[in-house]
Amino acid sequence: MRRLYNSAMDFREHLLAYLPLGEVDGILSAQKKEQVHGLLLNTEKVDPVAFTQAFPHIEPIPHVPHGYRYSSEEYAFGKHPLFDLGAYYIQDPAAMLVASQLKPREGARILDLCAAPGGKTIGTSLLYPSCTLISNDLSYPRAKELSGNVERMGRGNIVVTCADFKDHYRDSQGAFDAIILDAPCSGSAMFRKNDLAEADWSIEKVQRCATIQKELLSFAYSMLAPGGILLYSTCSFSKEEDIDPILELLKEHDDLSLCEMEDDSSFYHHPDLPEAIFLFPHRYEGEGQFLVKVQKAGRPPLFAMRNRPAPKQNPFVGAYGLEGRDFEIKGTALYSMPRCTPTHHLPVLRYGVKIEEDGNPDFALARYLGVEDSIPLDGTQTKAYLSGLTFDLNAAKGYHVVSYQGLTMGWVKVSNGVAKNHYPKGLRRDYAKDLFPFLVTTDR
């Protein structure tokens, strides 16, 4: 062991209480190695063939469509313009498996209960675009971060909320076809990624987290519709946080049954709950994850609500073909979701796409729109735009979305052949010259 843990019970002894010696020593050995890096490609913005040709040394992640592992020494994806333009989301490869295993029914109404910073939400949104999501986090700063990631990735089917469902779950009884509960946990799968997680681990923390997890599972059960699925996950290796809460939930509710998930030789299955998946870092290239899926008995209900129309003569709704979506006005701002998603009982930070406020189009709308709705820029114009500068642009007077090599970037306002820059100040960067051109896309 690298150090003693903050408990009378050593971490190795803790794992040996329920795992074979070979698995425990494998976990501990892997935690001394380098962190594994991954990204989930936004295929609505980037062609996968073009991406893999541009970055040939990335490796596909099994069972995760368009998920890739990469070497951070070779590819600095977190500093690349493609990151800021929403071409991909950087995420632990093990965590990516959660969204890919959800497999909700077409058009499902989904709740991601503890969603920040947003990887599982964004993965779910990309993999199941016909669904709508309410993505929640209890912490306001983390919910704001979640909202920013949703905006950057151009997702249009996600409501972001900041709620304590201890106070709100009764208003959402049976409201969701699927629920993701990536529960707060002791974080033992994060030791390699975060030294503070290792220093903070203790058996007492495991026990405190297990109490919270059981409470959250109880809330999730009550909010699950008949026929609905609940996917529970943690980044902990402790049986008290993984297997035990699910066994207790199944004992309390005889209308729940375990679901089979895709299998792989790199997954570990414990005999006490063989349907669940453990991703151990010595078996599966990632930091680690536990996941299990259960289903409530019954026939799925039909959630049918009439979409609310857009305000009459709104210039952006008609110009960009947004008719038919659901619209909600918050103050002087107009928001939109694919279909009406009840949120009257929740504190909402973002209702889908923010379209405009006080007559000015919002950055989120530019990121949501496809490249066909944009004016393409060349490399010189793009460097100027991403740096926050004005530049010459031969276009009609007014607002326009601008793009580079198939990726929408944001708004400009053109007057007399000059484009005034509306790229958000907090995102402006002076990228290195060698990053341009950063991707050659194919027609899609």
Q: Which of 235, 238, 201, 233 is nearest to 217 (CA)?
A: 233
- Residue 437 preceded by cis peptide, ω within 30: yes
Burial of 202 (0-12, 13-18, 19+ CB in 10 A): middle
d(CA 204, CA 213): 14
d(CA 102, CA 179): 9
d(CA 173, CA 383): 50
Q: Which of 69, 300, 32, 61 is nearest to 176 (CA)?
A: 300
Query: Around Cβ 244, how many Cβ atoms within 10 Å?
Result: 17
Find out whether 104 and 178 touch, Cβ atoms under 8 Å: yes
Residue at 387: amino acid letter? S
Query: Around Cβ 372, how many Cβ atoms within 10 Å?
Result: 9
> Which residue in the block uniquely carries the two structure tokens 């669940």?
276
Q: Which two tokens stand for residue 16?
A: 């040996």
d(CA 125, CA 99): 9
Query: Around Cβ 60, how many Cβ atoms within 10 Å?
Result: 13
d(CA 23, CA 75): 31
> Which residue in the block uniquely carries the two structure tokens 């190795």?
12
Distance from chain centroid for Cα 306: 28
Active site annotation includes 235: yes
Out of 131, 162, 185, 235, the active site residue is 235
Q: Which residues are catalytic?
A: 235
